[in-house]
């Protein structure tokens, strides 16, 4: 059941209750409970009335309040798009390892395939004391308003929102450095591979790519907009081999794309970096062992997870939210795929 909670400045706020939601929707409290728990026994029309009332009243059930009252271990939610690829597993390991050290349990929610993210996050909020969300898609403004002041939230690598903590890695400056390094090799037809609209951090990397070109008085090519998965990298390589994409260097949004493209081009007999340079982002372990080694940007993915878990614990324990985003340093790592001598 919801209770009045205190804002960080100490002022009490009158929280909506399950009773007020039921009254607004014109249903019983049992129906409200079934809808919020995702039970399939409620008609879609009735469920929508309940969810509309929840939105209008900014109601967030404090399902974990009992654990706080009896000083039981904390339960924290972590919302990720999926678990494929090294980035998500590294972030999860960082979050889970720090949570375990602090005596927290972790409830993982994957957003891929969920039609109503706001509802899914709201349901998760009934089962945990605090939530960390990767990116911004699972934390739309309506959900952010509902959670604000009632459940601690940390956004990882997403667009900061008023009143919600965020932690992310620096992107634009390192992307500009990386692109400038490739341009300094004499490459003239660089292409950015990845969709800047897919995530805020990718948009910042593309912005750095653009800035490096304009600093030299050059107009950057349009990006090749693809999701950030290994299979998409192979498809891009096929387009290069077919002559659909003309480039002498590829600046990829992550290492998965870069490694897949490089491997596929090499299998087809193309010289990397002789004919085409390929650089990435993340510095996953494989980047060090391929030949040539992948020039990339190292970002502290594991540390992002650690900090998110730590901040949730501190907030649940009474700490005030940080007003400014926490931005972690990234570093360009030079190997051989850009055209530098192999180190």
pLDDT at 121: 82
pLDDT value at position 299?
95
pLDDT exceeds 50 at position 14: no
What pTM does this model have?
0.77
pLDDT in tens, 234-289: 999 999 999 999 999 999 999 999 999 999 999 999 999 999 999 999 999 999 99
Give me Rg for the CA atoms of the chain.
Answer: 23
pLDDT over 70 percentage in the chain: 86
Percent of the chain at pLDDT exceeding 90: 54
12, 209, 239, 298, 326 from 171: Cα distances, Å: 39, 10, 27, 10, 13
Token pair 């690598």: residue: 157
Domains in the chain: ranges and CATH: 13-61 (1.10.260.40), 74-169+301-329 (3.40.50.2300), 172-298 (3.40.50.2300)
* pLDDT of 51: 82
Alpha helices in 58-160 (DSSP H): 65-69, 86-101, 117-125, 141-147
Model confidence pLDDT, tens digit, residues 58-92: 776 654 444 444 345 678 999 998 888 888 999 99
Q: Residues 6 or more apart from 103 whose CB is under 8 A from it?
A: 73, 74
Question: How far apart, in whole angstroms, are the C-alpha atoms of residue 218 and residue 220?
Answer: 6
**Selected residue with higher pLDDT from 158 and 107:** 107
What's the whole-number mean pLDDT along residues 217-221?
97
Gap between the terminal Cα atoms of the chain: 61
- Helical ranges in the chain per DSSP H: 18-25, 29-36, 44-57, 65-69, 86-101, 117-125, 141-147, 172-184, 200-215, 230-241, 255-267, 301-316
Structure tokens, 192: 């950015």
The model's pLDDT over 301-332, given as tens digits with 9 standing for 90+, comes to 999 999 999 999 999 888 888 888 999 999 99
Taking only the tens place, the pLDDT of each residue in 113-143 is 887 777 788 788 888 989 999 886 666 666 6
The stretch 153-157 carries a mean pLDDT of: 91
Q: Kindly report the average pLDDT of the chain as a whole number.
A: 86
Please say whether the beta carbons of 279 and 295 come within 8 A. yes
Question: In 10 A of CB 93, how many CB atoms?
Answer: 14
The CA–CA distances, whole Å, from 205 to 136, 177, 255, 261, 298 equal 17, 10, 13, 19, 13
Q: How far, CA to CA in Å, does 62 sit from each of 3, 51, 119, 138, 328?
A: 7, 16, 15, 19, 32
pLDDT class of 343 with cuts at 50, 70, 90: low
pLDDT of residue 6: 39
Q: Take residue 122 and report the two structure tokens written for it.
A: 């709201």
pLDDT at residue 12, rounded to an integer: 30
Q: Is the peptide bond before 310 cis (omega within 30 degrees of 0)?
A: no
Reduce the DSSP state of residue 156 to 3 states and report it: strand
| 8 A C-beta contact, residue 22 and residue 29 | yes
Average pLDDT over residues 197-208: 94
Q: How confident is the model at residue 223 (pLDDT cuts 50, 70, 90)?
A: very high
Q: What is the pLDDT of residue 62?
A: 55
């Amino acid at each position: 059941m919801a209770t009045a909670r205190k804002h960080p400045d100490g002022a009490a706020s009158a929280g909506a209750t399950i009773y007020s939601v039921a009254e607004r929707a014109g249903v019983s409290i049992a129906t409200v409970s079934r809808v919020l728990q995702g039970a399939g026994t409620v008609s879609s029309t009735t469920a929508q009335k309940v969810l509309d009332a929840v939105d209008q009243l900014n109601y967030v059930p404090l399902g974990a309040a009992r654990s706080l009252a009896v000083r039981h271990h904390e339960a924290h939610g972590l919302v990720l798009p999926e678990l494929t690829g090294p980035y998500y597993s590294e972030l999860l390991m960082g979050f889970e390892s720090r949570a375990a050290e602090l005596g927290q349990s972790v409830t993982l929610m994957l957003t891929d395939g969920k039609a109503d993210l706001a509802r899914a996050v709201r349901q998760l909020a009934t089962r945990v004391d605090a939530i960390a969300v990767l990116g911004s898609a699972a934390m739309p403004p309506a959900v952010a308003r509902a959670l604000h002041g009632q459940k601690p939230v940390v956004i990882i690598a997403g667009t900061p929102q008023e009143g919600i903590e965020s932690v992310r890695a620096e992107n634009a400056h390192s992307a500009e450095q990386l692109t400038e390094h490739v341009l300094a090799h004499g490459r003239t037809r660089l292409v950015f591979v990845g969709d800047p609209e897919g995530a805020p951090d990718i948009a910042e990397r593309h912005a750095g790519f653009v800035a490096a070109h304009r600093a030299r008085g050059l107009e950057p090519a349009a990006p090749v907009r693809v999701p950030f998965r290994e299979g998409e990298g192979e498809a891009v390589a096929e387009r290069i081999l077919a002559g659909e994409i003309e480039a002498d260097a590829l600046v990829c949004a992550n290492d998965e794309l870069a490694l897949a493209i490089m491997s596929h081009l090499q299998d087809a007999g193309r010289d990397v970096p002789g004919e085409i340079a390929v650089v990435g982002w993340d510095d996953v372990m494989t980047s060090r062992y391929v030949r040539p080694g992948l020039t990339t940007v190292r970002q502290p993915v594991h540390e992002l997870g650690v900090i998110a878990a730590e901040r949730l614990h501190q907030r649940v324990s009474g700490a005030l939210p940080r007003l400014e985003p926490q931005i972690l340093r990234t570093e360009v790592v030079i190997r051989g795929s850009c055209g530098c001598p192999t180190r």
